[in-house]
Amino acid sequence: MERLAASKLKNYARLAKILGWANLIFYLLKTLMESLKIIVNPKFQSAVIRSDWNAMLDVFAYLLDIFLRGWVYWFLFAGLSIGLLVLSDFRALQSRDYARKTPEFYEPEEVLRISAWLSRMAMIGAAATLFVSIPSLLQLKETVFSFGLTNNLLSWGIWFLLSASVLLLECGLLYLALRGFAQILRIIMEIEFNTRG
């Protein structure tokens, strides 16, 4: 029964790896297609000729968002795949006839590498989310200031409070999810390793 469960976990790990690569390829192709669509768009060409930095910043932020999303998903699926392999080793270890002293289904170095990259992607993703949010934060500023409040300081305060809330939620959620996942991978590998005695 333990071997069957370990085999199922290995199959899910394989599926997660395939989905990770499929996601990465999809988002890289989407970035390329969107780039080509934007380059031939007369509005974008006009913005370049006029040196309209706001329009170009919007486009760059949009493309960066698509590109980084593919990488974030790839690392999440890669982490899920290696985590499932660690669990399959742990499950197989519970079998009476399983007495290996080294992992059979995964490489500890790969767990550490994926975990390190998940931690890096947490920082990169949070910084990119901050950068990608700039155009929408500027639009939010225009909306808040369009209410024509008599106190300009109040408008700035409302905009700052709303912007900070949105950024903390978006950046914080992404950062904590990726960093937490990286730590979980290390912990389950350590548990699996310690179970071997």
User: Do residues 23 and 32 touch, judged by C-beta distance below 8 A?
Assistant: no
| Cβ(25)–Cβ(94) below 8 Å | no
15 vs 145, which has greater pLDDT? Answer: 15
- Distance CA(27)–CA(24), nearest Å, equals 5
For the full predicted model, state whether its pTM sits above 0.85.
no
Domain that holds residue 109: 2-195
With a cut of 80, say whether residue 106 has pLDDT above it: yes
Q: What is the mean pLDDT of the chain?
A: 83
Give the number of other CB atoms < 10 A from CB of residue 177.
Answer: 15
Cα 186 to Cα 64, 86, 110, distances in angstroms: 29, 10, 11
- CA 85 – CA 189 distance, rounded (Å): 10
Q: How far is CA 100 from each of CA 4, 35, 89, 110, 126, rounded to the nearest angstrom? A: 18, 51, 10, 19, 41
Total number of domains constituting the chain: 1
Helix or strand holding residue 122 (H, E): helix 108-132
Half-sphere exposure (CA, 13 Å, Cβ side) for 104? 16
Question: Which residue would you say has higher pLDDT here, 123 or 43?
Answer: 123
Tracing tokens 């290390």 back to the chain, one arrives at: 186
Q: What is the pLDDT of residues 126-138, one digit of tens each?
A: 888 888 888 888 8
Taking the C-alpha atoms of residue 78 and residue 46, their distance in angstroms, rounded to an integer, is: 41
Cβ pair 104, 3 in contact under 8 A? no
